Structures are given as C-alpha cells and as structure tokens.
C-alpha cells in the first residue's frame, strides 16, 4: 500500500464513512489540532523527567487518537454514525484526568501568583502542549455549534489542559525549580 493516494491534491479529504470535505473545514481543523497536540505530547514524553509526569501521557496519547477518530466520524443523516464503530472518550476518561490533576497539584507548592510558562524545559514543553490543547478545545467548541460531536470530547480537552498545567508545575517542583511567577507591574 502506498502512502500517497493523490485524493487530497484538490484540497479535499475523506472523513471516516466516506464523506469528502475541504481540508480547511472546521471538522478537519478540530481533529488536525488534536493530532498536533498528540504529536506535541509525544515530544514531551521524549523529555527527561519524572515518571509521575511522563507516564500518564501515554494514556493521554491513546485517548487523543480516539478523539481524532471520533471527530473524523461525523453523524450521518438521521443521527447515525458511520458504519464502523470508533472508540469514544467518556466520563471515566475525564475522571482519570481529574485523579492525575489532583495528584500533580498535591505534588507542587500552593499557588500564590499567576504562573508564566517556563521553569524547567519539561515544564515549558508542557505549557506549550497546554496552549495547543486549548486551541483544540476552541475548535471543538466551534464545531459543536455547527454539527453534533461527542459531548465528552470538549470536557476531556478542557480537563486535559488543566492536567498539563498541573504537570508543568509538578515538573518544576520535582526538578527543584520554582514556577515563574507573573508579577503585576506597578502603575
């Protein structure tokens, strides 16, 4: 099987189920940004750092792949999904993130300031991933206004951005580096 098909040369792509859409459609933006986030988390996982930060991200990558497949599988007329079932995130996946958020938050000092991205390299990478996660969430919210999507997708991405923030703070704490505080300028 060849990697290239030439089917996308005209600026269209296939969704799961066969429908063709423009590559700049909101749905493609949404699952493309989820894919970008997944790739960035793969880069984060290549960073040296504590297992308490890096290990949960393997599960996150699998969930993001499932979210991408879900977003690439729109409902057909009548509210039915494409013939083949795709895995979907649900409440249990969101609950798993919340456990990790609490664990990471408890491993970092109490927040006394807003935190700027930075500190250790791992924390900085996690903050970049958090920003891409927020963009993916925004695209999914916009898509949900236009077409039906799985409700848990937006919730999962919202919670994931919180996890990435908490993990960045944990990475700094475990690396012996203080968070970078934002100090309001004196006026």
CATH of the domain at 37: 1.20.1200.10
Beta-bridge mates of residue 111: none
Domain of residue 165 covers: 21-75+87-180
* Number of alpha carbons in the 13 Å side-chain half-sphere of residue 89: 30
**Is residue 168 a part of any domain in this protein?**
yes
Note the pTM of the prediction, 2 decimals: 0.92
**Is residue 16 a part of any domain in this protein?**
no
Task: Report CA 5 to chain centroid distance, whole Å.
Answer: 28
Q: How many domains does the chain have?
A: 1
Tens of pLDDT along 128-141?
999 999 999 999 99
What pLDDT is recorded for position 79?
A: 53
**Is residue 3 a part of any domain in this protein?**
no
């Amino acid at each position: 099987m060849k990697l290239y098909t030439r089917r996308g040369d005209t600026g269209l792509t296939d969704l799961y189920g066969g429908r063709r859409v423009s590559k700049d459609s909101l749905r493609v933006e949404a699952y493309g940004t989820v894919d970008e986030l997944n790739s960035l988390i793969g880069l984060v996982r290549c960073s040296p750092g504590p297992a308490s930060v890096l290990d949960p991200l393997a599960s996150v990558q699998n969930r993001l792949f499932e979210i991408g497949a879900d977003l690439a599988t729109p409902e057909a007329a009548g509210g039915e999904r494409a013939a083949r079932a795709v895995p979907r995130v649900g409440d249990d996946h969101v609950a798993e993130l919340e456990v990790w958020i609490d664990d990471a938050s408890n491993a970092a000092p109490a927040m006394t300031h807003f935190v700027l991205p930075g500190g250790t390299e791992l924390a900085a990478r996690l903050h970049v991933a958090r920003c891409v996660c927020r963009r993916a969430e925004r695209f999914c919210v916009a898509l949900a206004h236009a077409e039906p999507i799985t409700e848990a997708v937006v919730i999962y991405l919202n919670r994931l951005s919180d996890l990435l923030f908490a993990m960045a703070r944990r990475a700094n704490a475990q690396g012996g580096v203080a968070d970078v505080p934002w100090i309001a300028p004196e006026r």
